[in-house]
Every structure is written in structure tokens, then in C-alpha cells.
Structure 1
Amino acid sequence: MDQIKLTQFSHGGGCGCKIAPAVLSKLLAHAPAGIVPPELLVGTETADDAAVYQLNERQAIVATTDFFTPIVDDPYDFGRIAATNALSDVYAMGGRPIMALAVVGMPLDKLPPEVIGRILEGGAAVCRDAGIPIAGGHSIDVLEPIYGLVGLGVVDPAQVKKNAGAQAGDVLILTKPLGIGILSAGLKKGLLADADYAEMLRWTTLLNRVGARLAGMGGVHAVTDVTGFGLAGHLLEICRGSKLGATVNFDALPKIAAAEKLVRDGIATGASTRNWASYGDDVAMAADAPEWQRKLITDPQTSGGLLIACAESGVDAVLAAIREEQGSEGHVIGRMVAGAAVLRVE
């Protein structure tokens, strides 16, 4: 079991295997319009992280699914990362998870049962940490290992945090450092030291549980999680939903030190290039900005942090909540500004 490397089965690991934003837009453009009942508070219109369906005046269901191919070789770690990433969508809407369903696809002729079992154990461990059961799921025999969850949560309908809620002048706060996709590329090339792998696990298995607390904070206007489309891509989703622009101070971005070193040396994922091709026309950077900076802001984050737009008066409270709920620091990285839905990196 120890000799099997899960990433050898993956053409693209973690959130780096997401369909590129531009391609996804074309696919969705051909999807037929469906039923949109008034109780559906959040659907596909604003590229939000999960659907929200109102049950009554005080309760709404948050529903999402997220799954991917291995980003690491260790099966238990893969299960933990995938489960943490899936539950993040519930937290990003301001929801509190209540249960999950497992999504499992495994090449049964290539992986022994004990390896698959360890993947499931990793996912179950994260759900226990979140205080929820895995109440069922579905499994199939496929060519590449796939694991993730359907996440279900609850939220007060009046406290849902959508991409469309940001206001001009809002401060942008990021709860985790960037560089997970770069580390995954380094891992595949055998360039990641044990300490750097441990740092990767630290962030990818840290639940974004502060999202449920942010729901009740009046100064918080919009929240999303930063995953496969990179920081720039997910911030542009807030810009488009809120009909605003944004500015980001590159030097203020939290960066995993090992990832910064790797990307400066030219290590990055193919997904980063696809991301830039999808939305680079809406990102303004200095003409002399080095290539590695572009790679960092487009780096696909697997189980990345929350990106929060809040009133300046609420910044201290949000930063305190991040420390108390997650034991880590939030970082002020920029602002929402009036104007076209363009991201300026300064």
C-alpha cells in the first residue's frame, strides 16, 4: 500500500482538474433553463459556491458538491483534503454543515481495498471534526481515483453571503495563504521537502469554519472560497456579481514561502495558464510584473481560504473571528471599488 502513488493516476490533481472558467461558461451557455422556484435564493446566476433553498423564515438549506482526483499520494491525506474542500462551499455561503454524502469513483483493478478504505477514513475524520455524519453516498468503478462530498448545511435566509453583495469601499480579507497548486506541482516533480508537505497539509485540511460565524456579522457583505480558478478568478466572480471592480496589493498577499520559491523557479500548474487564458483580459497588472506573479494570482487553490468583502468598520471583528475560529491570521489584501468589473493588481 505504501508504494502506491495516487497522483500517478491523475491527469490533474485537486482543484487544478476543474474545467477552465472560459470553457465552463461555454458549456453552461448551452444548458437548458430549468425551473426556478421563488424559494431558490441562490442558483447559478452569480457563480456562487453553493445553492441555497429557503425552507421557512428562519431556515434555508445550503447544498453543494465537490470532488476531484488526487493532489497528494497518501490516501488518508487525499481523503482529508477532498472533504475539507467540499465543506468549504457551505461555509462560504455563511452556512453551518449538517451532514455529507460521499462521492467515490475508484479504479478497482488498480487500487487495493485498503488504499480506498484509507481515503474514506480521511474524509470521515474531517467530517467528525466538522461535527457532521457522512450519511450515505454513491460509488462507481472508474479509470482515475475520484473522491469528494455532497455537503448540506443550514443558514438563516437573511444571512446568506453571496458574490453579489459586495459594496464599493469594502475591504478584502483572505484567510489562507496562496500557493497550494504550485506545491502540488512541486510534489509531482519530487521537489517538496517534508516540512513543505506538512505546510501544504496544514492549510488544505483547515476547515473554513469561520464562514458560519461571518453570516451573523452585519459588516460582512460577500464571501467566496478561493479554489480552482485562483484568487484572481474568484475575486472577479465577486466583481461581476456585485458590478464593481477591485484592487489588490500584491505585496500584501499571504504566500506560502516554499510555493513562492518554486514559482520563482518556474514551477506552476497547467491550470494556472488555462485560468489566465480565461480571464486575463479582466486583470490589469504592471507591464513589468514578472511572470511568477501572474502564476501566483491564477494558481488553483485546493481547499483554499475564504475571500471576504466587508465594511472597513468590521475589519477588526472579522480578523478576530478568524483567529478565534481557526487559529490562524486573516490578511487584508485590497478593496472593492466603483467601476467596471476589472481586477487591478498593484
Structure 2
Amino acid sequence: MNAPHENFPIPAGEPRLSTLSHGGGCGCKIAPGVLSEILKGTAQMPIPKELLVGIETADDAAVYQLNDEQALIATTDFFMPIVDDPYDFGRIAATNAISDVYAMGGKPILALALVGMPINVLSTATIGRILAGGESVCREAGIPIAGGHTIDSVEPIYGLVALGLVHPKRVKRNADAKAGDVLILGKPLGVGVLSAALKKELLDAEGYRQMIATTTKLNTPGPELAALDGVHALTDVTGFGLAGHALELARGAKLAVRIDWARVPLLAGVAELAAAGHVTGASGRNWAGYGAEVGLPAGFDPTAKALLTDPQTSGGLLVSCAPAAVDEVLAVFKRHGFDAAAVIGEVTAPGAGPRLELR
């Protein structure tokens, strides 16, 4: 099932958007191992004291202190189509980009559009619907799209530069988890699996509905979570999967993370789809990039392993908080409509070094 948006029938003769991209959504990220190789030789520029968060822990956004009360959050995210409906593609891409502001504990203030389109392949009407989808999400977030940049591209690409504000003392990095913290995940996993089934035209209407519902749900709890004293670290789970982003928490804090797989929420039907082979190539690339840092129990289900590394386009917030703050964190999620939010593990002493353990 991949029906066009009810207000926009895809023009006859135009290809499916997903057929124009070699990898959709956050599944088209450069694999973590390859990315590490690319970045290890980059020159380190002098870091001004105002730069509160840079590239040092692969955090979700840069944060630059403006004054005693305000810090600017700057981030960008863009990708190729994960669905065929142009309006839904725009909504998903915009939601995903804005999420990084929320993941730093900030409030978005404006966005710039990044648009690369094969103008000899797609009609201006289709491209306009992609942009309209992104604009609809920005309206929901209460921010304008104040400009941007366009190019003629072989593959369709859409995303945003997103800017936000946060109090300097409320910045939540991915590197500040503490031993004894509890881990809470805001959204269920499985977007990559659903997208793999969709690309093969094997996803039913209900599967498509829940895929759109989760990928277009803004991570609005972020600023409220950042205001809680018991919340120590925040990130969002995207292209590197739950395992990859949990490992970033572990590496940044120089601690270990333990996840209880039975408690991890999953989107309905994704376990069955994954067992049937509907997984993304990015899932395997993710494991190749960081699998040596993950400890799996004997007999761990291969389907669960695929979901552990499943790339999440516009995934949920991952919160590291003190045990005393768990009820309050879950209450914040519930107030914002994140009923699937769940405790999934804890942060522990590092042992032999930062790593992820499954049980």
C-alpha cells in the first residue's frame, strides 16, 4: 500500500518517488564505520568557548551560546524518499530534521529548506507537494521556512536546516548519562522494516498508516524533558538504529548501556515482516560498523538483531535519567501523546570499556 495523498493524485507517467532513490530516509546515511574513516583525518579547528556542543560526541546538533540566557541550536538533515506520496515525504523529512532541535532540549525557531530534485523527471506539481508537506510540519511546530537552497539533482532530496533556542543550562547532550541512569525510549522501533516492505509493495494500508503516524510525530517532549533535573542525557534514534545511538550515549559518557530487549516497544507487525526478510541494507551496514561493541546473549533472535540495528527515520527520543525521574519522564511523554514510551534499560559502570549489552 502506497496510495498518494488524498488531495494529490500522482501525475500519470511519473515514476514512484522511492524508485528514484538508492536508499530511503535515514537508511541512506553513510554507514557508521565508513563515516568514522572519513572523519578521522579531518582537521580540527580552534573551538571557541561559546561552542557548547560540536562534533566531539556525534551529537544531534551544534549549540552556540549567545548570552547568559540563550544558546542557538543549529542542525541539518535531508534524505531521499522513503515513501512515494510527495506530501508525506515532505512531512517525514521535515519532522526528522526538526527532531534534532528537540533532542538537544530546545525550541525550534525557524527553518531553511534544502531541495534537490530531478526537474526533468518530476513535475513542478509533485515537487511543490513535497515542499507543502514540509511546510505543514513547520506550521505545526510553530516556525517559518525562512529561505533555503535548490539544485537540480539526479535523486530527489529534501530536508531542512533547523534552528532553535535553549537556555545554556538546559542543553541536553548525548554524552552526559550517569551510571545508574534508566533509559527510556519515546517511540516504537520498526520504521526501516516497514519502509523495506513498502518498497516491495508488500505493506498493507494499516502498516502504511502507522508508518506515517510515527514518522510525522514531532518530538515535542524534548524541551519539557530538558527542564527536569533528573534528565541527564537526550538523543534521538535515527539512521544508526537503537544500538548505534545507545552506543553513542555509552561512548560519550565512557560508560556501558544495557538494554532489555523484551521491553523495547515495536510497531505492530514489524517483527513478522523482519522475520520474512523485509529488512534494509542499512541494518546490516550498521551492524558491520559497530557490532564489535555490542554483546548479544547466546541464541539472540536474528530478527531481533535486525530490529536492533534498524534505521529509524524520524525516530523517538532516547532519555537517560535518574531512577527517581522515571515516572515524571513517562508522564511528560504521555502528555504529548507518546503512549508507547517505555523503560528499556539502564546505564552501568563501563567494565572493559563503553559498550552495549543486550539481555
Verify same fold: TM over 0.5.
Answer: yes
Q: Give me the TM-score of the superposition, normalised by structure 2.
A: 0.95
Could you say which residue in structure 2 is the equivalent of 1:313?
Answer: 324
1:98/1:153 contact within 8 Å kept: yes
Could you say which residue in structure 2 is the equivalent of 1:28?
Answer: 39
1:106/1:145 contact within 8 Å kept: yes
Distance 2:338 2:75 in 1: 26
Could you say which residue in structure 2 is the equivalent of 1:17?
Answer: 28
Distance 1:34 1:111 in 2: 41
Could you say which residue in structure 2 is the equivalent of 1:237?
Answer: 248
Distance 1:81 1:321 in 2: 23
> Which of 196, 199, 204 is the matching residue for 2:210?
199
Q: Does 1:262 find its partner at 2:282?
A: no
Distance 2:17 2:73 in 1: 31
Q: Does 1:343 find its partner at 2:336?
A: no
1:206/1:326 contact within 8 Å kept: no
Shift of 1:289: 1.1
Shift of 1:214: 1.1
Distance 2:251 2:16 in 1: 40
Aligned positions of 1:90-109 closer than 5 A: 90-109=101-120
**Which deviations, in whole Å up to 9, do the C-alpha atoms of 1:63-117 show, x marking residues without a partner?**
0000000000000000000000000000000010000000000000000000000
Range 318-327 or range 299-308, more displaced:
318-327
2:196/2:279 contact within 8 Å kept: yes
Aligned positions of 1:149-298 closer than 5 A: 149-298=160-309
Q: Does 1:43 find its partner at 2:65?
A: no
Could you say which residue in structure 2 is the equivalent of 1:332?
Answer: 343
Q: Does 1:302 find its partner at 2:313?
A: yes
> Which of 17, 22, 39 is the matching residue for 1:6?
17
Distance 2:269 2:115 in 1: 32
Q: Give me the TM-score of the superposition, normalised by structure 1.
A: 0.99
Structure 1 segments, 4+ long, off by >3 Å, are none
Unaligned runs of 5+ in 2: 1-9
Range 279-288 or range 48-57, more displaced:
279-288
Shift of 1:290: 1.9
Distance 1:75 1:221 in 2: 38
Distance 1:259 1:2 in 2: 31
Distance 2:73 2:176 in 1: 17
2:187/2:338 contact within 8 Å kept: no
Partner AA of 2:221 in structure 1:
V
1:229/1:301 contact within 8 Å kept: yes
Aligned positions of 1:60-75 closer than 5 A: 60-75=71-86
Partner AA of 2:36 in structure 1:
S
Distance 2:69 2:136 in 1: 30
Range 319-328 or range 90-99, more displaced:
319-328
Aligned positions of 1:133-152 closer than 5 A: 133-152=144-163
Counterpart secondary structure, 1:48 = coil
Aligned positions of 1:89-128 closer than 5 A: 89-128=100-139
Could you say which residue in structure 1 is the equivalent of 2:7?
Answer: none
Counterpart secondary structure, 2:243 = helix
Shift of 1:287: 2.4
Partner AA of 1:297 in structure 2:
L
Unaligned runs of 5+ in 1: none
Distance 2:58 2:199 in 1: 31
1:209/1:326 contact within 8 Å kept: no
Distance 2:76 2:344 in 1: 29
Partner AA of 1:117 in structure 2:
G
Distance 2:318 2:340 in 1: 13
Shift of 1:2: 4.7
**Which deviations, in whole Å up to 9, do the C-alpha atoms of 1:178-217 show, x marking residues without a partner?**
0000000000111100111000001000000100111111
CA RMSD of aligned residues (A): 0.8
Partner AA of 2:208 in structure 1:
Y
Could you say which residue in structure 1 is the equivalent of 2:4?
Answer: none
Partner AA of 1:43 in structure 2:
G
Distance 2:347 2:270 in 1: 27
**Which deviations, in whole Å up to 9, do the C-alpha atoms of 1:117-148 show, x marking residues without a partner?**
00000000000000000000000000000000
